[in-house]
Structure 1
Amino acid sequence: MISETIKPRFLETDALGHINNTVVPGWFEGARDPVFRWFTPDLDVKRWRLILARFDVSFHGELYYEYPVELRCYIGRIGNSSFDVYQEAWQHGEKCASGTSVLVHFDHQRKASIPIPEDIRQLMLQHLYPGEAR
Structure 2
Amino acid sequence: MYKEMISPRFFETDALGHINNTVVPVWFEKAREPVFRLFTPDLDIKKWKLIIARISVDFLGEIFYGEDVEVRTGLAKIGNSSMTVRQEVWQGGKCQARGDAALIHYDYSTSSSVPIPDEIRSQLEQHIIGE
**Shared fold (TM-score, shorter chain, > 0.5):** yes
- The residue identity in structure 2 corresponding to 1:122 is S
* Cα deviation code 1:36-91 (max 9, x no counterpart): 00000000000000000000000000000010100000011000000000000000
In structure 2, runs of 5+ residues without a counterpart are: none
User: How many residues of Structure 1 are paired with residues of Structure 2 in the alignment?
Assistant: 131
Q: How does 1:1-134 map to 2 (within 5 A)?
A: 1-129=1-129, 133=131
Structure 1 segments (4+ residues) deviating >3 Å: none
Q: TM-score when scaled to structure 1? A: 0.96
Matches of 1:45 and 1:81, distance apart in 2: 19
Tell me the TM-score normalised to structure 2 length: 0.99
1:3 aligned partner, one-letter code: K
Structure 1 residue 101: Cα displacement: 0.1
Please list every run of 5 or more consecutive structure 1 residues that lacks an aligned counterpart in the other structure: none
SS of equivalent residue, structure 2 residue 122: helix
SS of the residue corresponding to residue 26 of structure 1 reads helix
Q: Percent identity?
A: 56
